[in-house]
Structure 1
Amino acid sequence: MESMGRLGADEVLGGLDPQQRVVATSFGSPVVVLAGAGTGKTRAITHRIAYGALTGRIDPRRALAVTFTTKAAGELRSRLHSLGVPGVQARTFHSAALRQLSYFWPRVNGTELPPVASSVLGLVAEAARPLGVELETGLLRDLAGEISWAKVSNVPADRYPELAGAAGRSVAALDPDQVSDVLVRYEQVKKRRAVIDFDDILLCTIALLHEHPEVAEQVRAQYRHLTVDEFQDVSPVQRTLLELWLGEGRDVCVVGDPNQAIHTFAGAQPRYLEGFAREHPGALTLRLETNHRSTPEVLEAANATMGRGLRLRAVRPAGPRVEVAMSADEPSEAAEVAEWLRLRHEAGITWAEQAVLFRINAQAEMVQEALDEAGVPCVLRDAEGRGRSRDHRSSVVDAVTLSTIHSAKGLEWEAVAVIGLTEGMLPFVLATTPAQIAEERRLLHVAITRARTDLRLSWAPGGASGHGQRQPSRFLRDCGLTGGTSSTTTMPVRRRARPRTLPLCRVCGRSLSEAAEIKLGRHADCPGDVDVELFEALRAWRLRCAREQSLPAFVIFTEATLRALAEQRPSDRAGLLRIQGIGIDKAERYGDQVLGIIRAGGPATGDVTTTHKRG
């Protein structure tokens, strides 16, 4: 065995808390680790592998650590390398399976493995064309997601209507029989094009190991020590593949958090984590409940959401209380969140250490608008975990993260605001079964445990128009966290405040502090030159756009932005971008129309349709 570097076994255990140390030193039977948020599960399992290698319990050249994302696999490799164990394979399920498939497929079939399709939407469109419905991108994505769910859940096409109905699943505008037909034709399209898709990587590997015992034996000889992270997210297909890799072996350690099981819509089955000890006689069940991330106040709220199961214990000192706020309506909620973020930035928390989390992406637009108004830079995190800056003035390196709760899983920030905590949003209106409601509750737990120190939970009875009688989420009510008014409680200043650079009035040269004045570029009482006819023309155009897109008018542009346009009358794209509240996205979406209205000096002519580039 190759040298493990200068670290000794005792040194590898140094710095671990007592629960982590038990995980790192437990061998000889299957191990399931129930690890709560912020309890250092990655640290525990990497030190377990390193300690096993240093004491001869594990041959690092025959160890495979499996996780769900390429980023997580890279972090495992990096940590193991720093511990002096560079030989361990750390891969995603698909990466490990594809490696095996690419090697063994030609040897048993005599042909090269078909290529993996770079995109499935074209395949789905071809399969769905006979339905005779409009195949817009949203429907194609929904169909692609449903095809993937059926495949990872072992749901055959002929049983889709029955099993999808039992699972409470549906695809908008299509009945279950139509989806079943698409499933059949989708496989036919792939066969004609001689390609496989992402899910086929696992299915083909399973078939290979099932049908060729000699291949299975070679794989098991190569990977004798298995570690699986995020086991609460394992699908039926992934679990089958893991059992085939394991065979009669017992050297397996699985790690997961039942309170963070939020991906059943994609086929994950938390019951595999909960039932692991029953299915593997003699398995050792360990728990990680010492949270090193969050303050006692944050953890009290997190524990209250779940009621039972893992109970997170704090080691950090007390911090500010959790703020629970009821706003008058959604625009007020967004504006108050912007002010909350700004106050924390003034207290020394960088923008990048702050986040706003929400249930669905549609909630992002109003928050972005409010942050623009307040001069707060933000970056929207997409489903693939990439950050896109909304404004050319916003640095992706130092900007507030806007994210759905699903996309925020695995991340953490110093300050987190969770918005929209109403019935119909969290739990979401489509969550009706007890299992679905339970998963929505776990979503709130995930959102809360992203915060290290500052946490704000908010809701609003009124919608974007100010009307409505929404109720606070039952999860807040269950925990006694419904809050009172929308008044903001200022946190104690724990860090040296940074001076805030304010823009200057273009008329008098004095500092501007109000958001509307910053957008206008001058004080309200300084003389301006608003073109009233142009302003009214822009308002009429905005109203038509809003009706066409079924959006509140202020989401297109606020009154302050229209007034700034009518006063400054930019002549090109660069001029548009100099106006506060107009970022690259809006300049691309509406810029040509706005500039046309300005050049005309009055009412716009022609079509008011826009490029639907949301986000």
Structure 2
Amino acid sequence: MSQIANTPVNDLLSGLDAEQRQAAETLRGPLCILAGAGTGKTRAITHRIAHGVHSGIYNPTSVLALTFTTRAASEMRTRLRQLGAAGVQARTFHAAALRQLQYFWPQAVGGALPNLVEHKAPIIAEAARRLRISSDRAMVRDLAAEVEWAKVSMHSPESYAKIVESREMPNGLAPVSMARIFQTYEELKDDRNVIDFEDVLLLTSAILEEDEKVAASVRAQYRHFVVDEYQDVSPLQQRLLDLWLGSRDELCVVGDASQTIYSFTGAKPDYLLNFATRFPQAKVVKLVRDYRSTPEIVSLANKVLATRRIETSVPDRFVTWPEPLELIAQRDHGPSPEFFEGTDDENEAEEVAQRIKQLINQGQDISEIAVLYRTNGQSQAFEQALTAHSIAYVMRGAERFFSRREVKEGMLALRAALGVSAQEENVSQLVRDVLSSHGYSANAPSGGTGAVRQRWESLSALVRLADELVAGKAAQGEQCTLHDIVRELEERAAIQHAPTLDGVTLASFHAAKGLEWDVVFLAGLSDGLVPITYAKDQAGYDEERRLLYVGITRARVRLYLSWSLARTPGGRAHRFPSRFLDGIKSAGQVSSRPQSPVKRREQKLTPAVCGTCGSFLTSAKERKLKRCASCPAAYDEALFESLRAWRSEVAKANSIPAFVIFTDATLMSIAEHRPTSEQALGKISGVGRSKLERYGQAVLELLAEHSG
């Protein structure tokens, strides 16, 4: 047993801060940990589990820790091993469910479990062809995403057909066609006797619901549950979790509503937000001390969330999203975030590449630099710019590391060497010798990136992993063998836990969730990309704001935020910086560039005050109304109701949400100020030129009619 395993409990918890320790010492009953970005949530929950094991309250084999990525599960298992709690199961929802399904299927259903298909695309494409619906690769991906949403939201093809009209379909597809694709997809799977990843959760849930013996067996095995990233739980995952729990309440959940960025996949933060309602006796602990980022970066992250809210469709009712956790930086001060703009996408990518090259020349580790963007389609410009400067890069979210041909060949070669190698005193050199015949060399190949460079980088990652294992064993007074290295690689391949590659990381905001770097470039921050154009309501805008927040909080020391004014060189400069950057650029440095010919959106802001009591106005709604929410309304309520009725008719006629026309706050302001001309109406917050042109005359006529 390791030295840590024999460590007294007090020593085990001594390195935790007050809030982390409070969470770690709460071992029984429901516990909700609200953990902001970089606040050490993994440290808190692994020490909590280890504390429970060391104190004898937990049997390690009766604890199930659930995460959302294989990487997070692997990291949790490693930490638990180091803390002397090696028997604890740390798995993704799908991995835990699949293991149970494979074990219980023969006795609950009989026969062999159907084969699991990793990718829906081929079957989705065939379903579309059978229905004579043309589709390209991108559309097939969107169709697969819609099917996944339906299944994690627990819709069968029959129930989905009843609600599909309310969904926005991929590529303008008719709702009835999407419902038929879903139905045909399920039929094709049945014909081929295969299941997908969502079926793993659905079938496991069904067996637990229908077979009391199986449910009792699982509940006897697992008595304590920990769920990380609880804000990303889907209805289907929550259903399975409830079945695992039964009537018990030994549940610890960890999450942050401010990092909810997967609503489009069916994830719902409601389970996290309503946890204390479901379990009134639950203890709630907030982790707000940020150990990851400098105070400058933390301050910027806090400001981005400061004005976040969600507007409901219920008339006269505005609901504020739960107050975001305000992070408190624990690191020393660093450089201020830097903002800069490019004339076009190529110019912006070139600016990013030049700054990266300068940082590398100053000694910055290349693997600690990341360029993040909203959509994968934005990567090309950065790939070209980095290649032009001979800067290696790694695409995250592309082909899986262990699926690469050179990695498979390298692992086969190392496995083959087990039978012929008799000398293992220098196992690191042995790994180098074996992989050298497959393209590895001590020095990187010249010529920048490309297939040759990727092959070398993949093999170099295997070598570095071997060196790390050797060093780790040596630190414990043990000798590492080639068997140890091959076993580690096979275990990592099984759970897709890729090693760190040398190169600048290129990734979307979504793919960067859960990761961190010393230096982060947030690129392409233009309206239309952040927020994305298909964010059409307040909830969509708020999710985009949270996505930017996640991007900001990936940075430890240096943060760069950039945008471009045009898409192509010489193109019309019609873009603006993201609306989410309004009012926060003062938190950083703006690079000096020639004055843009485009009129800037940001203006010098002065504090708004209530016209009734003179108090400062703090919310967007109050600023629109130009008065405090508690001060009496000065508008005619009958006029306001008339405006709302008109808005409802227009919204229904155009099949759009009512608030897209005007929000309630804007209608209140119109009713209060009673403008008599288009010029006066245009000055009211929330109207704008396009809405004035579209609805201005109708509003003025309604106002005149009401006045008459």
Fold-level similarity (TM above 0.5): yes
1:399 matched to which residue of 2? 503
- Structure 2 unaligned blocks of 5 or more: 307-322, 405-447, 458-500, 594-708
Cα distance between partner residues in 2 of 1:224 and 1:273: 20
2:164–2:179 CA contact under 8 A, matched in 1: no
For residues 484-532 of structure 1, what are the alpha-carbon distances to aligned partners after superposition, in whole Å with 9 as ceiling and x for unaligned?
Answer: 96538xxxxxxxxxxxxxxxxxxxxxxxxxxxxxxxxxxxxxxxxxxxx
Cα distance between partner residues in 2 of 1:19 and 1:283: 16
| Cα-Cα RMSD | 2.3
Cα distance between partner residues in 2 of 1:324 and 1:285: 37
Query: Closer, same or farther in 2 for the Cα pair 1:343/1:165, shift >3 Å?
Result: farther
Query: Closer, same or farther in 2 for the Cα pair 1:469/1:269, shift >3 Å?
Result: same
1:357 matched to which residue of 2? 372
**CA positional deviation for 1:468:** 2.9
Is residue 419 of structure 1 aligned with residue 434 of structure 2? no
**CA positional deviation for 1:16:** 1.0
Cα distance between partner residues in 2 of 1:475 and 1:186: 40
Which of 354, 357, 372 aligns to 1:339? It is 354
Is residue 160 of structure 1 aligned with residue 160 of structure 2? yes
Is residue 260 of structure 1 aligned with residue 364 of structure 2? no
2:338–2:589 CA contact under 8 A, matched in 1: no
Cα distance between partner residues in 2 of 1:478 and 1:379: 33
Which of 556, 559, 577 aligns to 1:455? It is 559
**CA positional deviation for 1:67:** 0.7
Is residue 298 of structure 1 aligned with residue 402 of structure 2? no
Q: How does 1:54-133 map to 2 (within 5 A)?
A: 54-133=54-133
Cα distance between partner residues in 2 of 1:242 and 1:38: 26
Query: Closer, same or farther in 2 for the Cα pair 1:243/1:482, shift >3 Å?
Result: same
Query: Closer, same or farther in 2 for the Cα pair 1:22/1:94, shift >3 Å?
Result: same
SS in structure 2 of the partner of residue 172 of structure 1: helix
1:141 matched to which residue of 2? 141
For residues 57-97 of structure 1, what are the alpha-carbon distances to aligned partners after superposition, in whole Å with 9 as ceiling and x for unaligned?
Answer: 21112111111111211111111111111111111111111
Query: In structure 2, what residue type is equivalent to 1:474?
Result: R
For residues 519-556 of structure 1, what are the alpha-carbon distances to aligned partners after superposition, in whole Å with 9 as ceiling and x for unaligned?
Answer: xxxxxxxxxxxxxxxxxxxxxxxxxxxxxxxxxxxxxx
Query: In structure 2, what residue type is equivalent to 1:444?
Result: L
2:269 matched to which residue of 1? 270
Cα distance between partner residues in 2 of 1:296 and 1:86: 36
2:439 matched to which residue of 1? none
For residues 163-183 of structure 1, what are the alpha-carbon distances to aligned partners after superposition, in whole Å with 9 as ceiling and x for unaligned?
Answer: 4554x5321142111010111
Using the size of structure 1 for normalisation, the TM-score is 0.76
2:229 matched to which residue of 1? 230
For residues 230-279 of structure 1, what are the alpha-carbon distances to aligned partners after superposition, in whole Å with 9 as ceiling and x for unaligned?
Answer: 11111000000001100111111011121111111111111111111111
Report the more deviating stretch, 6-15 or 317-326: 6-15
Query: In structure 2, what residue type is equivalent to 1:96?
Result: A
Report the more deviating stretch, 149-158 or 225-234: 149-158
Query: In structure 1, what residue type is equivalent to 2:73?
Result: A
Query: Closer, same or farther in 2 for the Cα pair 1:448/1:140, shift >3 Å?
Result: same
Is residue 408 of structure 1 aligned with residue 512 of structure 2? yes
Using the size of structure 2 for normalisation, the TM-score is 0.66
Query: Closer, same or farther in 2 for the Cα pair 1:451/1:252, shift >3 Å?
Result: same
**CA positional deviation for 1:2:** 13
Query: Closer, same or farther in 2 for the Cα pair 1:383/1:207, shift >3 Å?
Result: farther
**CA positional deviation for 1:27:** 2.5
2:233–2:271 CA contact under 8 A, matched in 1: yes
**CA positional deviation for 1:376:** 2.2
1:419–1:458 CA contact under 8 A, matched in 2: yes
Query: Closer, same or farther in 2 for the Cα pair 1:151/1:384, shift >3 Å?
Result: farther
1:63–1:89 CA contact under 8 A, matched in 2: yes
Query: Closer, same or farther in 2 for the Cα pair 1:122/1:376, shift >3 Å?
Result: closer
SS in structure 2 of the partner of residue 487 of structure 1: coil
**CA positional deviation for 1:346:** 2.0
Query: In structure 2, what residue type is equivalent to 1:424?
Result: G
1:284 matched to which residue of 2? 283
Query: In structure 2, what residue type is equivalent to 1:149?
Result: W
For residues 182-208 of structure 1, what are the alpha-carbon distances to aligned partners after superposition, in whole Å with 9 as ceiling and x for unaligned?
Answer: 111111111111111111000001100
2:32–2:282 CA contact under 8 A, matched in 1: yes
Query: In structure 2, what residue type is equivalent to 1:237?
Result: L
Cα distance between partner residues in 2 of 1:15 and 1:485: 39
Percent identity between matched residues is 45
1:327–1:485 CA contact under 8 A, matched in 2: no
1:28 matched to which residue of 2? 28
**CA positional deviation for 1:428:** 0.2
- Structure 1 unaligned blocks of 5 or more: 489-615
1:474 matched to which residue of 2? 579
Q: How does 1:452-601 map to 2 (within 5 A)?
A: 452-465=556-569, 466-480=571-585, 486-487=591-592
Query: Closer, same or farther in 2 for the Cα pair 1:435/1:478, shift >3 Å?
Result: farther
Report the more deviating stretch, 40-49 or 388-397: 388-397
Query: In structure 2, what residue type is equivalent to 1:433?
Result: D
SS in structure 1 of the partner of residue 558 of structure 2: strand
1:213 matched to which residue of 2? 212
Cα distance between partner residues in 2 of 1:484 and 1:132: 55
Query: In structure 2, what residue type is equivalent to 1:109?
Result: V
For residues 276-331 of structure 1, what are the alpha-carbon distances to aligned partners after superposition, in whole Å with 9 as ceiling and x for unaligned?
Answer: 11112211111111011100000011111111411111111110011011222222
Query: Closer, same or farther in 2 for the Cα pair 1:135/1:217, shift >3 Å?
Result: same
SS in structure 1 of the partner of residue 199 of structure 2: helix
Query: Closer, same or farther in 2 for the Cα pair 1:440/1:240, shift >3 Å?
Result: same
**CA positional deviation for 1:399:** 1.2
SS in structure 1 of the partner of residue 514 of structure 2: coil
Cα distance between partner residues in 2 of 1:161 and 1:428: 28
1:199 matched to which residue of 2? 198
2:2–2:84 CA contact under 8 A, matched in 1: no
Query: Closer, same or farther in 2 for the Cα pair 1:434/1:481, shift >3 Å?
Result: farther
Equivalent residue pairs, number: 487
1:327–1:486 CA contact under 8 A, matched in 2: no
